[in-house]
Amino acid sequence: MTSPVSRRDLLLAGGTIVAASAVGAGTTAAATPDLRTRPGGHSGGGLVVAWNQTLLRIVRTPGAQPATVHPTRSFAILHAAIHDAVTSSGRSHLHVGAPTAAAAQAAHDVLVALYPAQVASLDWQLRTDLATVEQRHAREIGIEAGRLVARRLLDLRRNDGSSATPSPLPPGTEPGQYRPTPPGFLPAAFTHWSHVTPFVVDRVDRFRPEAYPTLSGRRYAAAINEVKRLGQDTSTSRTSDQTEQAHFWAAPIWNYWNEITQTAVLAQGKDLVHAARIFAHLNLALADAVIAFYDAKYHYRIWRPITAIRLADSDTNPATVADPAWNSLATTPPDPAYPGAHSVISQTSATLLTAEFGRGHRLAVTSEALPGVTRHFTTFQSIADEAGLSRIYAGVHTRLDHYAGRTLGHHLARATLTRTPTG
């Protein structure tokens, strides 16, 4: 790690991606125990999970995450640093424990740089992890490797476009064009994010979904009428389970998939090397997926269902009928509809995790948006399908958005798998 390397070489140095044995049919991935609260530090895959839990805690803390910097960037940098620190310090069997120290130091240094207000708790977590490495020389080797990797990664991402000021998006004036939505009519968010440098793929515009169907056609009418019926705040057509799904998946979707990955890694007892690789590949892909879906959203600039339904008398489609008083079950996010972010992120995650763990699972997923509720699944794909479709029941997306997002996520995940070193 001392010679000059390219952006991708550093992020993926020494990595492999191979299909691991599936979680057996009798294995259940349940809610992840909070490893951050356990004294004495962590080793193995638990160390990676603990630092991931720390970042989840930070991004869930009001005001901790900069409003114009997407959280998936932080997850990608954190786990790329852990991964590269582990691989760069683990080449010698003479220094057992060095990868543990390297991973902890790299994670600490990245998060301190990204969230300096959290330094006290991050210092404590680092000290407890380093204390598990008894051999002083191995600990010193690991610390130096972790510091170097974190510094170089942060330097590489310093001018990646994430610090740009989002440009205002003029409200649309023609049928189908995006405009701010009630109740807050907030300006469009992350208008700059499509210009952020990707982590793995060369360019994100090649993952844009096909052009949005014509507003006068049957596909459009069917999609709008479905969300009009199922996504309304006072809908009597939506089932109680569909209502639960809408509320269950209402939090940031990348948080769910990091939680799901935590439980899968712990259920299989993954060691440090494998856990570092899994989290790095997942979060690098998710960071690129977010850049890609913002590219598509702001390329097509399609209006949200609440606008489409209220202004349906302007869409030239005789099969849609305007309802100026229509409201969605959930508050509509401040960005264009097409493609759906939940569907992009979930399909990207499901494709990658299925490649890693296989298909046979019993998975229990909990929600930060609906405390006390657990939903059960048998495959990663079934989780992705429900998360994407839940946005129809919430009234903020159509099935057109879902299908486009699913396609984008699948193609981006496959591109990530093929561009990552194997062996």
Residue 242: give its domain's CATH number: 1.10.606.20
pLDDT along the chain (423 residues), means of 10: 38 32 36 60 86 98 98 98 91 73 98 98 98 94 97 98 97 98 97 98 97 98 98 98 98 98 95 96 98 98 98 98 98 98 98 92 93 96 98 98 98 89 40
Residue 92's pLDDT is what? 54
Domain count, the chain: 1
Task: Give me 257's structure tokens.
Answer: 């998939």
CA-based nearest residue to 49, from 61, 38, 60? 38
CA separation for the pair 169, 188 (Å, rounded) = 6
Quick one: 368 exposed, middle or buried, by C-beta within 10 A (0-12, 13-18, 19+)?
A: middle
Residue 16's pLDDT is what? 28
Whether 106 is covered by a domain: the verdict is no
Q: Which residues contact 336 (CB under 8 A, 6 or more apart)?
A: 178, 188, 297, 298, 300, 301, 302, 303, 304
Residue 95's pLDDT is what? 66
Phi and psi based region of residue 38 (left: phi greater than 0; alpha: psi -120 to 50; beta: remaining)? beta
Whether 160 is covered by a domain: the verdict is no
Which residue shows structure tokens 């609440």?
306
Whether 181 is covered by a domain: the verdict is no
How far is residue 179 from each of residues 170, 221, 270, 335, 384, measured CA to CA in Å? 8, 20, 46, 9, 28
**Backbone torsions φ then ψ of 123, nearest 5 degrees:** -60, -45
CA separation for the pair 91, 68 (Å, rounded) = 39
CA separation for the pair 420, 46 (Å, rounded) = 24
Whether 389 is covered by a domain: the verdict is yes
Q: 364 forms bridges with which residues in the sheet?
A: 376
Residue 362's pLDDT is what? 87
Whether 237 is covered by a domain: the verdict is yes
CA separation for the pair 391, 412 (Å, rounded) = 21
Give how far the C-alpha of residue 383 lies from the chain's centroid of Cα atoms, to the nearest Å: 14
Whether 282 is covered by a domain: the verdict is yes
Classify 365 as helix, strand or coil. strand
Whether 97 is covered by a domain: the verdict is no
Whether 231 is covered by a domain: the verdict is yes
What is the domain extent for residue 403?
A: 215-419
Amino acid at 118: Q
